[in-house]
Amino acid sequence: MAHAELIELSHSISPAGEPVVQLRGDLDYASAEVAVSYVTGVIDRHGGPLTADLSALTFCDARGLAALVRMARYAERAGCPFRLASPSASLVRIMRITGLHDRFLTGLALVRSDSALASATLRRPHPGPITPARSAPKASRACMGVRK
């Protein structure tokens, strides 16, 4: 199987009439352009708001994160809210490290097992007492990949 075939893209319309794009497999340097093209095509045909269901996403590298940002920007320019559903814990961690959590994880959409959508807000834990800031180690490109 060719590496570009490691992502499977499909979409459906939710009971609320909103498009939901399912991403299955790897979102990486080999599949990012195909995924962006697919999602922008769904936005052009159906409008929004659009939800990207990441429950079956098994890998996402830096190029995959950039693809999600490009999808969101395209949706914003089209006047459509763009939401993520069911990102893995490791993807959420990488989004926090890269600062993308503010863009994607506020008002996170959760997908139930029966594929019906329900919206929920991601609750951030109370930060606790203020402590002096420590400089965090810089993440290398090698650690930007996320495996579920």
Better-scored residue on pLDDT, 124 or 67: 67
Label residue 147 by pLDDT band (50, 70, 90). Answer: very low
List C-alpha distances in Å: 97 to 60, 63, 83, 102, 133: 14, 15, 19, 11, 15
Per-residue model confidence (pLDDT) at position 31: 97
CA–centroid distance for 88 within its chain:
9
**Protein fold of 3-122:** Transcription Regulator spoIIAA (3.30.750)
Per-residue model confidence (pLDDT) at position 104: 84
Label residue 105 by pLDDT band (50, 70, 90). Answer: confident
Whole-number Å distance between alpha carbons of 127 and 124: 8
Which pTM does this prediction carry? 0.71
CA–centroid distance for 84 within its chain:
5
Q: Where are the chain's structural domains?
A: 3-122
Which residues are CB-contacts of 37 (< 8 A; sequence separation ≥ 6)?
A: none
